């Protein structure tokens, strides 16, 4: 339960950082906008953060398991993998931002036109 709340908050925080960079909206306004954008797709953000959370902890525990902290090589490898992980996380959050923004604007357009916002089931 606490992990779920933590991952949702971190997802919202990361999305607000992407909003700040891409939209030029800063501070509490970017947090509010990221909450509004992610309103329909919190589960996607939770899943993204869960993947990165598990991946990060796997890297830490694997380095600890092989004794990388006692040697310089394991720490170097772990830092190199984290340097690849962080830009990948930001690219994924940029894609997540565009998906959430598209859903938000589509829902807003449908509400303004008075159409039903439900997606027909196949």
Query: Which pLDDT belongs to residue 116?
Result: 55
Average pLDDT over residues 47-75: 81
Q: Which residues contact 72 (CB under 8 A, 6 or more apart)?
A: none
Q: What share of the chain is helix, strand, coil (3-state, %, to 5)?
A: 85, 0, 15
Query: Which pLDDT belongs to residue 60?
Result: 80
Distance between CA atoms of residues 38 and 101, nearest Å: 8
| pLDDT tens-digit readout, 62-101 | 777 777 667 667 777 778 888 888 999 999 999 999 999 8
């Amino acid at each position: 339960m606490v992990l779920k709340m933590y991952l949702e908050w971190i997802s919202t925080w990361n999305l607000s950082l992407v909003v700040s960079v891409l939209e030029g909206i800063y501070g509490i306004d970017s947090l509010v906008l990221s909450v509004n954008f992610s309103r329909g797709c919190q589960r996607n953000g939770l899943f993204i953060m869960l993947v990165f959370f598990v991946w990060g902890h796997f890297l830490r525990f694997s380095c600890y398991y092989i004794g990388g902290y006692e040697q310089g090589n394991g720490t170097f490898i772990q830092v190199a993998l984290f340097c690849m992980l962080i830009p990948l996380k930001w690219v994924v959050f940029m894609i997540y931002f565009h998906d959430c923004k598209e859903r938000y604007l589509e829902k807003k357009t449908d509400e303004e036109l008075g159409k039903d916002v439900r997606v027909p089931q196949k």
